[in-house]
Amino acid sequence: MKLILLLLLFACTIQAGHAQASLANSITFGVHSKTAPLEWRSNGVDQGFNIELMNRIGQLSGARILIRRKTFQQLLTDVHSPESDIDVVAIVSPVSIDRQLSQSDPIYATHAKAYTLQGKAFINSWHDLAGKRVAIKKGAFVDVYLSDQEQKFERVDVDLYETGFQLLIKGDVDVVLAENFVARRLLPFYPSIRSSSDPLIYGAFNFVTNGKNAPLMAQINDALRQLKLSGEYDTLVNEWFGTGREKVDLTSTQHRMLWLATLVSIISALGTILTVYISRSLRKRTQSLKVELNQRLQVESQILKLSQQFQSVLNGIPHGVTLYNRECECLWSNDKNNQLLQSPDFYFNHGQTFQLKTTLTEVLNTQKSLTADMSYHTQFWQLQIHPIDMDQAVILLEEATEQHALRQANNESSRLASLGELSAGVAHEINNPTGLIIHSIAFLNHAMNDLKPAAQCYLQQNPFWSVAGLEPKHAISELEMSCSTIDDAANRISRIVNDLKCYARPNITSEYQVFKLNEVVMVSLRLTANQLKLFRLECHLQEPAPELLGDAQQLQQVLINLIQNACHASKPTSDIHSSLITIGTSTLANSACLTITDTGTGMDRATLKRITEPFFTTRRSCGGTGLGLSVCSRIIKEHHGEMQISSQLGVGTQIKLIFPLASTSIEDSKQKIESDSRYN
């Protein structure tokens, strides 16, 4: 039993020795690429120029070649480590820079150049890379070349050239610097990428190893030189790359060249005959092509002219016209207010903010046109979106501020007209009972004057007489006060009715006459002197006085109302610091201006918006009816005037009335009459 164990131990020792001898006589060749014809695998068998060359070197060196595949970064790490299980790696080195590893003679030349997406500009030199994002394989010969070079581009490190191509398609880089053989393999899989430069870096394939294997590299170089001298290297190059230095038999080559020259002569003669025939055909074809070319040039000229006219029409349109695709990219625009579509202050009239992407997608999905009223600050716009196809739509943008104002004015006119008709009816219905009340109160006042002596006489006869439970003298005083109160209230009702009639009464323009604006001011001041005496008053009247065409009494009514409003808004005091009211007249171009300014309480924005509305007043508790400024507004419009109001709380109010001068109004009336007569 012990003898058997000793025999087994001896056999194992012999096998281990053979294994160590086999490992000692082997070279581990690290492979990382899948690029034909350098290193690749077919049906599980490692093939390629470098692999076959390394196998021939192993045969000449008496060593077995072991192929081991690893990633490129692992091979770079292993080849620098003395403890690595990799002996040799085939790597490209720049022709002007040596790696710090032990390397062989050059195996095969290659180069690197720039690759970009189809349609991008050609890269003529390194200067064209300035400012671009460039993908570079970490540790590759391009990386080694650039390690000591100034870089004016943004470098993006990748683990593989294929990773760089994928980033290029995504748009994360602009250029990929790739080795030629690898790029030739990848381009069929990435048709949107193309070669965009001449070679930028030249390099050569070398076998490299770490310092401890320097003797091994000497053996590889000796074997490589033998293969080049024997012609086997050229055979391998021709086999894998289709070129190489083959050995030539001169005699057989001369015979082959003679037969080839004869064949070429025959082909040349046939070619000459064919060339003559083709030349004649080409002359005829050239003539017909010239005629066709002239016709096409004429048609293109007409199309270009029509296109320019169409472009001029689109550019001349005052409204915005923009063409968008589904990705919300602007395909064309006449640059008219196109920026509003991206503004956060551009929203629908009902209050919803406009989102271009959302609205455009909805229109394209439904294939239904959209028309909406929009707002931007104080402006109003009409937006139209019309789908052209499933992925494009045209957006029309038209300012509608003036139309919006006209609609509001029309609505206000309709409302005021309805209110005027209602006011006239109400005034008519109220006027009759009010007249009866005033007439009855007048009768009661006269009766009270006659009853006073009779009451005194009867009181002497009957000292205990009372009227409605009151002492007669007190009762008569209360009756007189009640009569006075009823009379005041009835007169107030009568004034309101008269204001309503004035508001609803149509103006008869044929009764207009020329008058001086300064006279209207002086008459109004005399009629309001009792109220103005409590305030400081300044008048600045232009001389000669501006002349207007209209109704002087109606404008007096307007000015009196404005003076009374200024007095109500101001606080009277007895010193020199009392409120100031200023009235002035002036002319500007073809217009006359009447300005009333006070230093009273002023008005806020909400009050300013409603100041000319019928029945709106801030003095309801003091007896205001809200019809004064409404009537004034109507009178000013009938005189083709304009009322501008500016006010600030605690500072005061300024009202400016602007009317056309009498000369301008008369000239406009003559032109209108002449136009109407020609039309009739």
- CA 621 – CA 618 distance, rounded (Å): 8
pLDDT at position 2? 42
Indicate the pLDDT class of residue 214, thresholds 50, 70 and 90.
confident
Tell me what the mean pLDDT of segment 607-632 comes to.
64
> With pLDDT > 90 as the criterion, what percentage of the chain qualifies?
17
Computed over its alpha carbons, how large is the radius of gyration of the chain? 54
pLDDT at position 457? 80
CA dihedral 657, 660, 662, 667 (to 10 degrees): -170
pLDDT at position 671? 64
535-580 per-position pLDDT tens digit = 888 999 999 999 999 988 888 888 888 898 888 888 776 665 668 8
Indicate the pLDDT class of residue 88, thresholds 50, 70 and 90.
very high
CA dihedral 557, 559, 563, 566 (to 10 degrees): 110
CB neighbour class for 24 (10 Å; exposed up to 12, middle 13-18, buried from 19) = exposed
Give residue limits of the domains in the chain.
Answer: 22-241, 320-399, 405-504, 509-669
Tell me what the mean pLDDT of segment 419-445 comes to.
73
Say yes or no to pLDDT of 16 above 70: no
Tell me what the mean pLDDT of segment 30-42 comes to.
80
Superfamily for domain range 509-669: Histidine kinase-like ATPase, C-terminal domain (3.30.565.10)
The residue type of 592 is A
pLDDT at position 9? 44
Q: What are the backbone angles phi and psi of residue 653, rounded to the nearest 5°?
A: -135, 145
Indicate the pLDDT class of residue 8, thresholds 50, 70 and 90.
very low
Say yes or no to pLDDT of 17 above 60: no
> With pLDDT > 70 as the criterion, what percentage of the chain qualifies?
81
129-163 per-position pLDDT tens digit = 999 999 999 988 888 888 878 888 999 999 889 99
In DSSP notation, 356-401 reads HHHHHHHHHHHT--EEEEEEETTEEEEEEEEESSSSEEEEEEEE-H
Tell me what the mean pLDDT of segment 48-76 comes to.
89
pLDDT at position 154? 93
Say yes or no to pLDDT of 189 above 80: yes
Strands (E), 159-200: 175-179, 193-195
Say yes or no to pLDDT of 502 above 70: no
Of 46-55, 303-312, 399-408, 452-461, the range with the highest mean pLDDT is 46-55
Of 227 and 333, the structure prediction assigns the larger pLDDT to: 227
pLDDT at position 592? 93
pLDDT at position 215? 87
Angle in degrees, 0-180, between the axes of helices 517-527 and 552-569, rounded to the nearest 10: 50
Fold of the domain built from segment(s) 22-241: D-Maltodextrin-Binding Protein; domain 2 (3.40.190)
317-335 per-position pLDDT tens digit = 667 788 888 888 888 787 7
Q: Tokens representing 575?
A: 């010193």
Indicate the pLDDT class of residue 659, thresholds 50, 70 and 90.
very high
Of 662 and 410, the structure prediction assigns the larger pLDDT to: 662
- Among 431, 413, 433, 585, which Cα is nearest to 515's? 585
- CA 206 – CA 108 distance, rounded (Å): 8
pLDDT at position 573? 67
Say yes or no to pLDDT of 80 above 80: yes
- CA 534 – CA 588 distance, rounded (Å): 32
pLDDT at position 191? 92
pLDDT at position 5? 41
Indicate the pLDDT class of residue 24, thresholds 50, 70 and 90.
low
Q: What are the backbone angles phi and psi of residue 455, rounded to the nearest 5°?
A: -65, -40
Q: Tokens representing 564?
A: 């009374």
Indicate the pLDDT class of residue 113, thresholds 50, 70 and 90.
very high
Indicate the pLDDT class of residue 316, thresholds 50, 70 and 90.
low
Fold of the domain built from segment(s) 320-399: Beta-Lactamase (3.30.450)
pLDDT at position 76? 81
Which residues, in sequence order, are CB contacts of 82 under 8 Å at separation 6+?
210, 211, 212
Which residues, in sequence order, are CB contacts of 386 under 8 Å at separation 6+?
363, 369, 393, 394, 396
- CA 136 – CA 660 distance, rounded (Å): 79
- Cα distances from 3 to residues 8, 9, 186, 499, in angstroms, run 9, 10, 64, 144
In DSSP notation, 586-613 reads EEETTEEEEEEEE-S----HHHHHHTTS
The helix or strand, by DSSP H or E, that contains position 284, with its residue range, turns out to be helix 250-316
Tell me what the mean pLDDT of segment 376-402 comes to.
84
Report the chain's mean pLDDT, rounded to a whole number.
Answer: 80
